[in-house]
Amino acid sequence: MPPKTNPAKLNPLQLRTLTLLQAIARLPDAGVPQPNGDIAITAFPHAHGDHFHLGDAVVRGADATGLENQVVWSALSRKGFIRAEWPHQIALTPEGVAYDTGLADQILQRGGGH
């Protein structure tokens, strides 16, 4: 049997936000590994009009509305994907790093453009 898509039953906004947090955590100047296995996110990207850059990818601003949404942070925290203290700090847990949202190829646009 194939693995279940979205077994944590995250809604679309939560899935997009987790996808972006995973990408941010991989950036050397934004993700800081912690002794407990979490990755502290120390910087969010800055928008350029209707988009922003994450490493070699471009992301539409509309896909990032959950990054500054307390309700989304709370939901991802309850599911065990992040540890957060709104709005001061956020860290991706190992479960959050490993969760396959299935959206990275759709949200993180690479090549040909900006």
SS3 annotation, 2-27 = CCCCCCCCCCHHHHHHHHHHHHHHCC
Q: Within a domain: residue 1?
A: no
Task: Kindly report the pTM of this predicted structure.
Answer: 0.92
State the pairing for strand pair 51-54/57-60: antiparallel
Give the per-residue pLDDT at 107. Answer: 96
Spatial distance between the Cα atoms of 52 and 20, rounded to a whole number of angstroms = 11
Q: What is the CATH number of the domain that holds 93?
A: 1.10.10
Give the per-residue pLDDT at 4. Answer: 73
Give the per-residue pLDDT at 1. Answer: 57
Q: Within a domain: residue 64?
A: yes
| 75: containing domain | 12-110
Beta bridge partners of 57: 54, 110
Q: For the chain, how many structural domains are there in total?
A: 1
Q: What is the pLDDT along the chain (114 residues), one digit of tens a residue?
A: 556 789 999 999 999 999 999 999 999 999 999 999 999 999 988 888 899 999 899 999 999 999 999 999 999 999 999 999 999 999 999 999 999 999 999 999 997 554
Give the per-residue pLDDT at 46. Answer: 84
